[in-house]
Amino acid sequence: MMIYIIQIVVTSLILLLMAKIVKGVEIDSWGSALFAAFILGLINAFVKPVMVFLTIPLTIITFGLFLLVINALVLQLVATLSPGVRISGFGQAVLGSIVLTVLNMLVMMMIGIS
């Protein structure tokens, strides 16, 4: 349970950093980022696997690059469901998902959570 709390807190901090790095991504407050991180965790656990499964042919044809589209769609869904989180366009969602994924992976490796 504690690992999930740590992951949500770390992800919310990374979301705030992502909003500073990617123009067109806005997060109003720490609370908005925390809520968005929670929603992102739920979507990644329940919705994203279905999306990945349904798009296996596209993912294979594009050598995995279609997963960037799925990540961007997930991030846009999080922004839609989270008050205080806005993404101005699909390009910003793609860039934001790349930044979020890379930073999240690096931080989780540094603190020893897989």
Spell out the residues 6+ positions from residue 113 whose beta carbon is closer than 8 angstroms to its own: 3, 6, 7
Number of domains in the chain: 1
Q: Note the pTM of the prediction, 2 decimals.
A: 0.93
Cα-based distances in Å from 12 to 8, 23, 34, 41, 60: 6, 18, 5, 11, 31
Domain ranges, residue 67: 2-111
Residue 26: burial class (beta carbons within 10 Å; 0-12, 13-18, 19+): middle
HSE value, Cβ hemisphere, 13 Å, CA-based, for 3 = 5
Residue 1: what pLDDT? 87
pLDDT tens track for 37-73: 999 999 999 999 999 999 999 999 999 999 999 999 9
